[in-house]
Amino acid sequence: MTEVLAEGDPPAPATTAAEDRRRRVIDAAFELGAERGYDAVQMRDVSASANVSLATIYRYFSSKDHLLAAAMTEWTAKLQSRVAQSPPRGATAADQLVDVLNRACRAMARQPKLSAALVRALSSPDAGVQESAAQVQGQIAQMAEPILADLEPSVRSDVLAVLGHVWYSTLVAWASGRSDFDAVMVELERAVRVLVEPYEHRSGGAPRS
């Protein structure tokens, strides 16, 4: 059934063929990474799974690492959506931020091969990877900024920057087999408490909902 638009209403945005192909490529990378990890994500296999030519894939993504990093932005966007639907729990800003990070860690722990592949890809110097990594950082900041709304903007920016470094370094340690996700969460919570709680105690403020 075709929906009839009222006079003056803009038409609903249509998914272009290019967007559909890009989505299929990312989905194929997700599936291959989840099943067999980083080494299994070969562009020719992605091409076959997504039914998209290699030439087209390389127009979207400069390398396998770029593709996986782009997949990481999609994963983070889904986490953003879940956080928006179910606000962080906790009595303080630090508690709420720990809750968000804990959700992220649990989601990654459920797909260990895929998560390790995404983390490995983010270490690439590829310019496309760096662009996607910046997007991921921005998405994480968007989730955290409302929680830290009572902090001065410069302080909030510094807190998020340091937390980003801690998260990345702990994930690299996990992906290389030097720690487990429990250790990742312990380090992240410690960083949150050290960085955020002194400002809460100073202001005596409760987190914004």
Tell me whether residue 119 is in a domain: yes
Tell me whether residue 152 is in a domain: yes
What percent of the chain has pLDDT above 90? 51
Tell me whether residue 68 is in a domain: yes
Tell me whether residue 108 is in a domain: yes
Tell me whether residue 5 is in a domain: no
Confidence label for 138 from pLDDT (cuts 50, 70 and 90): confident
Q: Over the stretch 8-58, which tens digit does the pLDDT of each residue have?
A: 434 444 468 888 999 999 999 999 999 989 998 999 999 999 999 999 999
Domain that holds residue 31: 17-203
Tell me whether residue 42 is in a domain: yes
Terminal-residue alpha carbon distance, the chain: 41
Q: Over the stretch 91-129, which tens digit does the pLDDT of each residue have?
A: 999 999 999 999 988 888 889 999 999 999 988 888 889
Per-residue pLDDT, 202: 65
What percent of the chain has pLDDT above 70? 89
Tell me whether residue 1 is in a domain: no
- Provide the domain count of the chain: 1
For residue 141, the domain's CATH number is: 1.10.357.10
Tell me whether residue 134 is in a domain: yes
